[in-house]
Amino acid sequence: MEDRNKLTFLKFRPVYMDRVWGGTGLKTLLGRDLPENRTIGESWEIVDRQEAQSEIANGPLAGMTLRKALKSHCEALMGPGWDSSKPFPVLVKWLDCHQRLSLQVHPPVTVANDLGGEPKTENWFVASAEPGASLIVGLKEGVTRNTFEEALQSGQLEDCVHSFDVCPGDSLLVESGRLHAIDAGNLILEIQQNSDTTYRVYDWGRIGLEGKPRQLHVEESLHCIDFSDYEPEPLRFPVDTGKKELLADCKEFRITRYLLESVTGRLKWSAYEDVRLLHIVSGSLLEVGTGAILGRGDNVLLPFSAEIDFVAEKDALVLVTDRFC
């Protein structure tokens, strides 16, 4: 087992992505130093793709890309039996939605290969929401493919899609095939399959960053949309209902929410149990022994070989993603 006594949590340098719908929420809400003169909509926090690579920012592997670390320290990071050539299976993002995103869909596994794309199931956790912010997910009851296509031709799609107001703490699983859009005023933590295939079916008449309408993928979208997916609702847990709640449990990953009280709240796991991701939505955690602190907005990898012991420095809301191997 390599570096078994050295590895602790792994932090990564964010990869910022320009998006026409982006804003300044990553700076004002998460305290990030953003690049000048760019419209940042996404921060790719943990990513292992050809077009984007996370770089480790702490510990003995600092400076390595996630891909290189998986090749050289695979068993210590992921556990025995993990194929070091296999991409890390989860992609973690912060989404700063200053404007509404396109109406879009990701291809189900049954059609992804035929369309030349990758299936993508994702979970949204609303970290911050302005008054009146909403999500658009699924169809209104009774909408058929025919009525949807007619509305698409006439530019009246808002009459077909299901929209609902959200508040911080709401969580929703968006499986491949589910029609969706994030409305303006949301800061979303997105935990997803390692995929970047998105088909836009409608973009509200928007002009892109280059001054032209963005590309649509209408035919591909119509092949992917689940036309039996009516009026889904988010998971909502009042803050006084308990310390631990299951947010998502699908074949791609499991996500659990923890509410930790200052000083007494603790997350502790033995080494050689599992590999996990830890997401700090609010508050802060202190690592017992080293004194290292994780704060709001941090997303870290907890290696298979590492013993993990955190206490809440301040009241904290954190998510843990596991069972993604």
Both structure tokens of 28: 């004002």
Q: How far apart are CA 306 and CA 78, in angstroms?
A: 10
Which pair of tokens denotes residue 263? 């000083």
Q: Do 155 and 228 contact (CB within 8 A), yes or no?
A: no
Conformational region of residue 121, where left means phi above 0, alpha means psi within -120 to 50, and beta covers everything else: beta
For residues 48 and 67, is the Cβ–Cβ distance under 8 A? yes
**Matching residue, tokens 């369309």:** 115
For residue 314, the number of C-alpha atoms closer than 13 Å in the C-beta half-sphere is 9
Q: How far apart are CA 262 and CA 81, in angstroms?
A: 38
Yes or no: say if 319 and 247 are a contact pair by the CB < 8 Å rule. Answer: yes
Q: Is-catalytic flag, 254?
A: no
Among 59, 80, 76, CA closest to 1 = 76
Active-site hit among 67, 100, 200, 276: 200
Residue 80 CB contacts under 8 Å (≥ 6 apart), including other chains? none
Q: In whole angstroms, what separates CA 210 from the centre of its chain?
A: 26
Asked whether 45 and 52 are in contact (CB, 8 A), the reply is no
The pair of structure tokens assigned to 151 is 């509305």
Q: Which residues are catalytic?
A: 200
